[in-house]
Structure 1
């Protein structure tokens, strides 16, 4: 008989840096989850605004909210890894500090994982503007992602991922400033495929000043992933990088 997933603890990983504009909404979207067995670990990457005070305010009233502060500003990857290190859950989920979940996100995704015995899943998601207004743009989820298909372009939204600790153990992000999530997905995909839910269960905020608007600058990090982390040959790395550029260009037209 399949286990009842409502009893599984989910550890939610949120890196925080100067996110006071969005943090209250972010935390409330976790508190409103219909799957209530969770811990929300927010790791403060030495914010200089009121982020710490906001998190502590919520933590005082809800013991599922955990505040952690890094000793020095180290980037989102290090903050996420600290949260993973401290996680006590059966599953790891990711939610950046300016993004939001819909109330049934965890419940539906965990049921999907349990019903199909999938240890690595993701979902479709909506895009919202800085004010939180829906832009009418959805990012669809592929039904299945393999390691090879993911090399062409990262098809998985960080805010939608859940992976099983019992299957993978605790898996961490590499120490690069950008694209750490993509590198982690590739690492997980070497062990098993990822499966997507076509329903939008979260919203991704675009236009945030903390996120680079020039996505082509991020290609240098993709090159590092291909060459340094994945250990691909120069020829293969060039091939996948050009493919990524062409896919990005196509999305603009």
Structure 2
């Protein structure tokens, strides 16, 4: 039986499958690994490439047929089929260290952890460095509730690909049926069921931010974040500090929603943009701002003041920030969106 199941949801990713195969077959300790690729209704030839790969590899590889209902359903299907004691979730179009699974598995064995967390790096499609994701600032362990506190206050992010999860704490269908942020929703549940979380202070994954990603697509559903907030309250109520839940609402729901409303001006209906901003402002109160400031989250507190009291000036400031920080990505996303709207292209 495999020790680790590597889970990869795929839809119309034919351009990335050669790289995916090379990386999966190059994983250290491949003899202890199974790879489950969920083909979620591809129409670009991915299915044929995956079939050929499965027939011509020594890797323990299975290709599952998804229902076409999105990444959350695809991951849930793979969880139900996985045989490994631990699961690692990755994306076909990213890069990772060949030692990622062996490194995380060694930490899990050493600490008997239900969840192992490492670090990652964000880059743009042109290779520009967009910063490190430091989920594990130093090596050590924490309880699941302590790690949940870290997630709520922003020192632990909700991505899956820099984490290894014990299968038994995932439960049945762990990922909520949201278009975006299902990884965050699933991780909240995992933390609620985890006794021990291990932190491995190594950078093992490179997340490539592309214009076609869910968060950069026109089909982004903004109400997915409020759904995650509801789940955080459900899982954390009575287990974590009220101030942590309040900071999560401000810093990881209200502010990102407001920022998305700025990014999507001209793409979303004006009524949707207004609804996003109204909801974001409704989550911010004088108490939440003061708590954020006193808790050392002064940047979040300042941004929350801007959203609550001067949303138009703050939106202008955020536009300028986007130009400086993400000009290449936003330009590519705009071109992609224009091609979709223009039937002649």
On whether the aligned pair clears a TM of 0.5, the verdict is: yes
Instruction: Output the CA distance in 2 between the equivalents of 1:147 and 1:57.
Output: 42
Shift of the 73–147 alpha-carbon distance from structure 1 to 2, 3 Å rule, reads same
1:225 aligns with 2:228: yes
Query: Which residue, 108, 125, 134 being the options, matches 2:103?
Result: 108
Q: Answer 1 or 2: higher relative contact order, Cα 8 Å, separation at least 6.
A: 1
Match of residue 150 from structure 1: 151
Shift of the 95–57 alpha-carbon distance from structure 1 to 2, 3 Å rule, reads same
CA contact (8 A) 2:124 2:208 kept: yes
CA contact (8 A) 1:99 1:159 kept: no
1:203 aligns with 2:211: no
Match of residue 119 from structure 2: 124
Instruction: Output the CA distance in 1 between the equivalents of 2:186 and 2:69.
Output: 18
Query: Which residue, 54, 57, 63 being the options, matches 1:59?
Result: 54
Instruction: Output the CA distance in 1 between the equivalents of 2:90 and 2:116.
Output: 14
Match of residue 279 from structure 2: none
Gaps of 5+ in 1: 1-6
Query: Which residue, 6, 22, 29 being the options, matches 1:35?
Result: 29
CA contact (8 A) 1:41 1:67 kept: yes
Instruction: Output the CA distance in 1 between the equivalents of 2:197 and 2:61.
Output: 28
Normalized per residue, which structure has more helix? Answer: 2
Instruction: Output the CA distance in 1 between the equivalents of 2:128 and 2:105.
Output: 25
CA contact (8 A) 1:34 1:103 kept: yes
Instruction: Output the CA distance in 2 between the equivalents of 1:48 and 1:168.
Output: 30
Query: Which residue, 173, 176, 192 being the options, matches 1:174?
Result: 176
CA contact (8 A) 2:91 2:161 kept: yes
Normalized per residue, which structure has more strand? Answer: 1
**Structure 1 residue matching 2:180: 3-state secondary structure:** coil
**Structure 2 residue matching 1:103: 3-state secondary structure:** coil
Match of residue 13 from structure 1: 7
Query: Which residue, 170, 175, 188 being the options, matches 2:190?
Result: 188
CA contact (8 A) 1:81 1:172 kept: yes
Normalised by the length of structure 2, the TM-score is 0.62
Match of residue 242 from structure 1: 250
Higher-Rg member (1/2): 2
CA contact (8 A) 2:116 2:164 kept: yes
Match of residue 164 from structure 1: 166
Aligned residue pair count: 243
Match of residue 94 from structure 1: 89
Match of residue 25 from structure 1: 19
CA contact (8 A) 1:101 1:203 kept: yes
Instruction: Output the CA distance in 2 between the equivalents of 1:114 and 1:140.
Output: 22
Instruction: Output the CA distance in 2 between the equivalents of 1:228 and 1:201.
Output: 29
Shift of the 213–169 alpha-carbon distance from structure 1 to 2, 3 Å rule, reads closer
Instruction: Output the CA distance in 2 between the equivalents of 1:21 and 1:176.
Output: 26
**Structure 2 residue matching 1:203: 3-state secondary structure:** strand
Structure 1 position 213, deviation (Å): 2.9
